Amino acid sequence: MAAAFDGREERGDVAVERWHMPQPIAPYLFAFAVGELASRELGARSRVWAEPSVVDGAAWEFAEVDGMLAAGESLFGPYAWDRFDILVMPPSFPYGGMENPRLTFVTPTLLAGDRSQVRVIAHELAHAWSGNLVTNAHAGHFWLNEGWTRYAELRMVEVLEGQDTAALVAAICRKDLDETVARFIAEGQGGLTRLRTHLEGVDPDEAFSVVPYDKGELFLRAIETAVGRERFDRFARRYLETFRFGAVTTEAFLDFTERELPGVLASVDAPRWVDGEGMPDNAPTARSARLDAVIAMGDALPAADTRLSTTEWNLWLERLPRPQPAAFCASLDERFGFTSTGNMEVKVAWLRLALASAYDPVLPEVSRVLGAVGRMKYLVPLYSALLARPETQGLARETFERNAAGYHPIARAVVRGRIERAST
Ligand SMILES: [Zn+2]
């Protein structure tokens, strides 16, 4: 349970476990899980829980969590929740992670075997400050949870892996954001590209997107750029102290910002960010040498001895124009084995490119992935890519029918929505 463990008492074939929660939380953070679970110690304040067959791999994957806690505290002040344990969920878990206090739940797709996905752990840990300590008052202010958390996540990546990697991650996020914004506007849902949303009559799961995360992050980044990092860091700490264990609205955030950093909202054109649709022109852009190097690779087939990190491959694949010729796709897969990689970030970026290029040799793997994983970050783009071509719409429907019962209800509803929209 996402709470403090008091002990277990066995009475014959019944066991009673007791827990209490010393810190106040919002109701959406109340969580417990039941299963056959084993644990491994990661550090003085953290351990990982998982099914016995994956627990050792998980302990290796998340071994750096102590460094993350230290990075978080150096940026945002003391960690308020005593423990930061991690629970690896079954593959049907629909999200990358859920920041349940004291016990973050994560998808098993993070177990890439190369520690390349720990950024999701940094994100969930960042929620210990933004979201859990200072919570959005309701879903219309969701950007206050996720925008601040994406900002904190990127700052932690910068501390742990350097500014170069943080810039690569920021570039991937920006690509995803621009695509999402364009899709919402094309679908006549421009309202969902605002930071402050009006969700009366709208299912929050349908409204869910990267906009509150990445547009929110860029808004905060614009403020940081305007006032300088030192002033921004003092501002962030005072924000967290002022609203500690409380709930905030966008209005409260704006009032606080105007008091602490007079004039900055006008200088970054805050109304355009908060209530405007689409992306403001003054959105900051990440820069780094490695980012420039990935962009400089262009559209040419990389040499067979090219060695890139997960983040670099991901960004390069996402940036490739589509469709690509079948011969290019075949050579790419032959050289780098993307179809068979165990790294889901790279694999799904590749499968999306291949589907958009009508490169059908990947269809069996797409079908297999859709039956093995329930994380919406992978399900939604793969189903959308299948639905985008009349030739593969039938495969999308069949695959969904076969696997729907194994998806989490939220993922099932979101994919069903996409399928229904594609049929009309
Ligand atoms: Zn989050």
Query: Do 88 and 51 belong to one domain?
Result: yes
Specify the pLDDT at position 188. 92
Instruction: Give domain status of residue 293, yes or no.
Output: no
**Cis peptide bond prior to 323, omega within 30° of 0:** yes
Token digits for 78? 């003391």
How remote is the CA of residue 7 from the centroid of ligand 1, in Å? 30
Q: Tell me the pLDDT tens digit for each residue of 345-403.
A: 999 999 999 999 999 999 999 999 999 999 999 999 999 999 999 999 999 999 999 99
Query: Do 106 and 14 belong to one domain?
Result: yes
Question: What's 252's domain CATH number?
Answer: 1.10.390.10
Query: Do 92 and 54 belong to one domain?
Result: yes
pLDDT of 117 higher than 90: no
Which run of H or of E encompasses 246? strand 246-248
Domain boundary residue among 63, 96, 128?
128
d(CA 344, CA 89) in angstroms, rounded, equals 16
Total structural domains within the chain: 3
How remote is the CA of residue 153 from the centroid of ligand 1, in Å? 9
Instruction: Give domain status of residue 188, yes or no.
Output: yes
**Residues whose CB falls within 8 Å of the CB of residue 41, separated by 6 or more in sequence, listed in order:** 47
Amino acid 45 reads R
Specify the pLDDT at position 202. 86
Q: Are 134 and 244 in contact (CB under 8 A)?
A: yes
What is residue 247's three-state secondary structure? Answer: strand
pLDDT of 96 higher than 90: yes
Give percent of the chain above pLDDT 70. Answer: 100
pLDDT of 423 higher than 80: no
Query: Do 321 and 262 belong to one domain?
Result: no
**Residues whose CB falls within 8 Å of the CB of residue 301, separated by 6 or more in sequence, listed in order:** 328, 331, 332, 335
Mean pLDDT of 234-238: 97
Angle, alpha carbons 183-225-65 (nearest 5°): 80
Question: What's 415's domain CATH number?
Answer: 1.25.40.320
Query: What letters, b where the CB count within 10 A reaches 16 and e where it falls short, cover 235-273?
Result: bbeebbeebeeeebebebbeebbeebbeebbeebebeeb
Specify the pLDDT at position 421. 87
d(CA 255, CA 253) in angstroms, rounded, equals 6
Query: Do 12 and 109 belong to one domain?
Result: yes
Q: Return the DSSP state at 303.
A: P
Q: Tell me the pLDDT tens digit for each residue of 262-285.
A: 999 999 999 999 999 999 999 999
Specify the pLDDT at position 424. 67
Specify the pLDDT at position 11. 94
Instruction: Give domain status of residue 362, yes or no.
Output: yes
Query: Do 196 and 212 belong to one domain?
Result: yes
How remote is the CA of residue 123 from the centroid of ligand 1, in Å? 6
Query: Do 305 and 199 belong to one domain?
Result: no
Instruction: Give domain status of residue 108, yes or no.
Output: yes
Instruction: Give domain status of residue 307, yes or no.
Output: yes
Question: What's 107's domain CATH number?
Answer: 3.30.2010.30
Specify the pLDDT at position 275. 97
Instruction: Give domain status of residue 281, yes or no.
Output: no
d(CA 408, CA 291) in angstroms, rounded, equals 36
How remote is the CA of residue 145 from the centroid of ligand 1, in Å? 7
How remote is the CA of residue 40 from the centroid of ligand 1, in Å? 25
Mean pLDDT of the chain: 95
Query: Do 35 and 160 belong to one domain?
Result: no
Domain boundary residue among 64, 95, 128?
128
How remote is the CA of residue 375 from the centroid of ligand 1, in Å? 14
How remote is the CA of residue 144 from the centroid of ligand 1, in Å? 10
Query: Do 194 and 266 belong to one domain?
Result: yes
Range of the domain at 375: 300-423
Instruction: Give domain status of residue 285, yes or no.
Output: no
Query: Do 145 and 123 belong to one domain?
Result: no
pLDDT of 44 higher than 90: yes
Instruction: Tell me whether residue 409 is exposed, middle or buried, using C-beta atoms within 10 angstroms of its C-beta: 0 to 12, 13 to 18, 19 or more.
Output: exposed
Mean pLDDT of 47-60: 97
Specify the pLDDT at position 149. 97
Residue with tokens 């005072």: 238
How remote is the CA of residue 125 from the centroid of ligand 1, in Å? 9
d(CA 272, CA 219) in angstroms, rounded, equals 10
Instruction: Give domain status of residue 31, yes or no.
Output: yes
Q: What pTM, to 2 d.p., does this model score? A: 0.92
Q: What is the DSSP string of 85-100?
A: EEEEPPTT--SSEE--
Specify the pLDDT at position 114. 87
Q: Are 132 and 83 in contact (CB under 8 A)?
A: no
Give percent of the chain above pLDDT 90. Answer: 92
Query: Do 324 and 361 belong to one domain?
Result: yes
Query: Do 169 and 200 belong to one domain?
Result: yes
Domain boundary residue among 104, 128, 152?
128
Q: Catalytic amino acids?
A: 124, 213
Token digits for 380? 């939604």
